Every structure is written in C-alpha cells, then in structure tokens.
C-alpha cells in the first residue's frame, strides 16, 4: 500500500569495517549475497560511511600488496629452477594508487547496492571529551575514535533521512554494541546484529512485516467495503434468497442457538451488518474475470421464524409442586395425597429471532488493487 508504514523492517542497515573484513576482500560470502538480495528487493538502504570505505580500501590494498609480493617471490623461485616465464618486469605488476582504488571499490559497492554516506563532522573536542569519559565505543585505552565517528555518522544519517527511524547495525565488536545511546539520543530505534545473525534476523522481520501488511490491507479493504454497506444491504433486500435448513440450523451454530423444534414459517428476513471482508479468496464454483479482484463479504441477517414446540416441554418449565409436607408430622397413619397435575400436550407455535450469516461475492478493479487502490465495487452474487 502506498500509505503503508513499515512496522518491523529497518529503514537502513549499517556495517562497520570489521563486518566487511569478515566477508573477505571480494565480499563473496553467502550472508553478504543474501543481505543484498533481501534489501535490494525490499528497498532497504545498506550503508557504509566514507570512513568505513577508506578503512576497507586500506584492507584491500594490504591484501593486494601481499599477493603481489607472493607473486614476485613465486616468479623468482620459478626462474631459480630454470622454469621459463613470460618476460614480465616487477615494475609492470603495479597496483592502483589509493585514490584510484578508492574510486574503483566505491563504484563496485554502489553497483552492488551499498550507499556511501558522508562522515560525521562534529568538533574534535567533543570526541576527546567522550574518550576521556570512556563513552562507548571508547574503551579504557582510549581506542574507539574511528568507531565513534562511524557510529555518529550512521546516527546522523538515520535522523536526517527517516522519520521515526528504525535501523540495524552489523557488528560483532562489543564496544560498538554498547553504543546504542548514540542512536537513542536522537530517538532512533537501533539493534546491533552480528554478520552470522543478520540474514535470519531479516527473514524474521520480513515475516512479521508481511503479517502486519496483510492485516493493514485487510483493514483498509474492510473500511472501503463498509462505506458501501447501505448499498450492499439494499442489494440483499432486493435479492431472492434461498433459505435452506443448513442456513437456518447450521452445524457450526452454538448449542444455545440451535433450532431443535419444527420450523413452520419465516416471518421476516433483515440484513443487519457486514461482519467480515476477505479479499482475493477464490469462491468454489465461481470464476472471476482476470480484470476483476474477488472480495467475499460476510453479512449478518436476522430471521424471525415460527417454530412448533410440544406443550409438555413448556409444562415442565413451570412450577412442579404436587404437595406440601412437613417432615416431622408426616407418618404412615396420615399420608398426604399428591395433587394430580394435567400437562398440556398440545403443540404450541412460538416466534424466535435468530441471526445467521450469508456471503456476498463482490469484485473490484484488479489493476488498481495491485497498487493497493480499491475502486469500482461491483456486487456480483449472494450465497
């Protein structure tokens, strides 16, 4: 629904540098792939700060330089044993400069679905004061400056871009996980999740969100149909209804509402109100046009019926006194005779009011429904 507001999913997911390092230099691990698949499909922002990108590029540069040295050493060893190699000079195996590498990695990560956000630009004095106070992620040794800048960047980004923000931070760092108040100070709901937990966490939130969305859509559809309740009830009034024993005395009826006597006639049938609305559910034996969206509407009707009850049953409900005795003066010498009571065995007709449900099949514009817009209600049939 265009006006639906997420109730469970995060609006953004932020990663710290250690989470990227754990994924390896090419980020080709299952949790990264699944994370990007879920977030790209559902429009969830996955963000790293410029500082995280810089630290990540430093890590990649170190890996590349180490592999270059291993390659050169291997080539030298092969030549030592007389194994011929292409005439490649060490200077020809060059690495990109740091700025060039930063640009390359940034482009690849953006193409994969990451967003790179600006660093937080608070005064250094504030961070120094926090370091002295050991406010997480600063620890006893004063470490944590980069993590503090990264977390503040994420908290500021969430505050500026999302109303009532709810975010996840992927990190296994204990000091980072103790930094929730940096988000809470800005009224941001935050949860810290390790990389081994993020996919399961997102799938659980997706399931909760789907349930919430279905309920919200049902409520919106019900509200739309309720607007048309007078029209629907009037349609029922003007429609010939097939009254069956199954309708009058269904097996699902509560015991107190069962009809155990003989039904003689129906005095009136009155549609009362809509009790339930179900969208998209197929109806057995009914085909819906492809350009129409089926809606099943449950309507409560009130029936006034005449039933015949045996008179003896009515008699049993009245007073049953046959004699008045006092135990201490009652003996065999002076028995008390019981009054003879006659029962009216003649059947009696009484009027009962019962409430039952019937189903109205309606349809909506299917194309608009795909965009969560309900329009063009047509009442098709009453069951």
Q: Is 170 inside any structural domain? A: yes
Q: Pull the structure tokens for residue 54.
A: 């810089």
* pLDDT, average across residues 176-205: 93
Which strand (E) or helix (H) includes residue 15?
Answer: strand 12-15
Of 160, 180, 215, the position where a domain reaches its end is 215
Which residue, 150, 147, 118, is CA-closest to 134?
A: 147
Please answer whether residues 167 and 154 qualify as being in contact, where contact means their C-beta atoms are separated by less than 8 angstroms: yes
Query: HSE-up of 191 (CA within 13 Å, CB side)?
Result: 15
> Average pLDDT over the chain, rounded to whole?
85
Please answer whether residues 207 and 52 qualify as being in contact, where contact means their C-beta atoms are separated by less than 8 angstroms: no
Please list, in sequence order, all residues whose beta carbon lies within 8 angstroms of the beta carbon of residue 133, skipping any fewer than 6 positions away: none
Cα(240)–Cα(231) distance, rounded to whole angstroms? 16
The per-residue DSSP string of 220-238 comes to HHHHHHHHTHHHHHHHHHT
Residue 296, pLDDT > 90, answer yes
Question: For residue 252, what are the domain limits?
Answer: 228-317+342-382
* pLDDT, average across residues 156-172: 93
Q: Is 306 inside any structural domain? A: yes
Residue 312, pLDDT > 80, answer no
Please list, in sequence order, all residues whose beta carbon lies within 8 angstroms of the beta carbon of residue 64, skipping any fewer than 6 positions away: 95
pTM for the structure as a whole: 0.71
What is the residue whose two structure tokens read 């926090």?
Answer: 130
Looking at the fold, whether 141 and 234 belong to one and the same domain comes out as: no
Please answer whether residues 320 and 369 qualify as being in contact, where contact means their C-beta atoms are separated by less than 8 angstroms: no
Q: Pull the structure tokens for residue 175.
A: 């000091």
Residue 309, pLDDT > 80, answer no
Looking at the fold, whether 243 and 189 belong to one and the same domain comes out as: no
* pLDDT, average across residues 24-45: 92
Of 185, 215, 245, the position where a domain reaches its end is 215
* Residue 314's pLDDT band (cuts 50, 70, 90): very low
Q: What percentage of the chain has pLDDT greater than the value 70?
A: 84
Looking at the fold, whether 82 and 106 belong to one and the same domain comes out as: yes
Please answer whether residues 14 and 190 qualify as being in contact, where contact means their C-beta atoms are separated by less than 8 angstroms: no
**Domain count across the chain:** 2
């Amino acid at each position: 629904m265009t006006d639906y507001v997420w109730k469970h999913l995060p609006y953004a997911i932020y990663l710290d540098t250690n989470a990227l390092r754990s994924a390896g230099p090419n980020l080709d691990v299952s949790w990264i792939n699944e994370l990007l698949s879920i977030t790209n499909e559902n429009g969830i922002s996955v963000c790293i700060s410029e500082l995280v990108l810089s630290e990540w590029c430093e890590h990649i540069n170190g890996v590349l330089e180490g592999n270059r040295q291993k390659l050169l050493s291997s080539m030298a060893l092969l030549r030592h044993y007389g194994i011929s190699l292409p005439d490649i000079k060490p200077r020809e195996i060059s690495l990109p400069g740091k700025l060039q590498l930063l640009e390359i990695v940034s482009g690849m990560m953006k193409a994969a679905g990451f967003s790179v956000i600006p660093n937080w630009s608070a005064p250094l004095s504030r961070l120094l004061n926090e370091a002295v106070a050991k406010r997480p992620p600063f620890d006893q040794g004063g470490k944590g400056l980069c993590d503090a800048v990264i977390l503040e960047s994420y908290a500021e980004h969430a505050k500026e871009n999302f109303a009532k923000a709810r975010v996840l931070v992927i990190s296994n760092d204990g000091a980072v996980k103790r930094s929730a108040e940096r988000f809470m100070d800005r009224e941001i709901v935050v949860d810290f999740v390790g990389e081994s937990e993020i996919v399961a966490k997102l799938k659980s939130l997706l399931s909760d969100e789907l349930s919430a969305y279905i309920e919200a859509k049902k409520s919106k559809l019900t509200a739309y149909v309720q607007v048309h309740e007078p029209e629907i009830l009037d349609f029922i009034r003007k429609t010939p209804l097939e009254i069956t024993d199954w309708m009058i005395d269904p097996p699902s009826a509560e015991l107190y509402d069962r009809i155990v006597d003989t039904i003689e006639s129906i005095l009136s049938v009155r549609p009362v109100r809509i009790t339930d609305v179900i969208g998209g559910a197929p109806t057995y034996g009914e085909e819906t046009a492809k350009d129409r969206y089926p809606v099943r509407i449950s309507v409560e009707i009130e029936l006034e019926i005449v039933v015949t009850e045996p008179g003896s049953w009515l008699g049993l409900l009245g007073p049953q006194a046959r004699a008045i005795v006092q135990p201490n003066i009652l003996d065999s010498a002076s028995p008390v005779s019981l009054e003879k009571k006659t029962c009216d065995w003649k059947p009696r007709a009484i009027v009962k009011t019962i409430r039952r449900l019937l189903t109205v099949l309606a349809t909506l514009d299917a194309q608009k429904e795909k965009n969560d817009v309900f329009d063009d209600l047509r009442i098709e049939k009453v069951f």
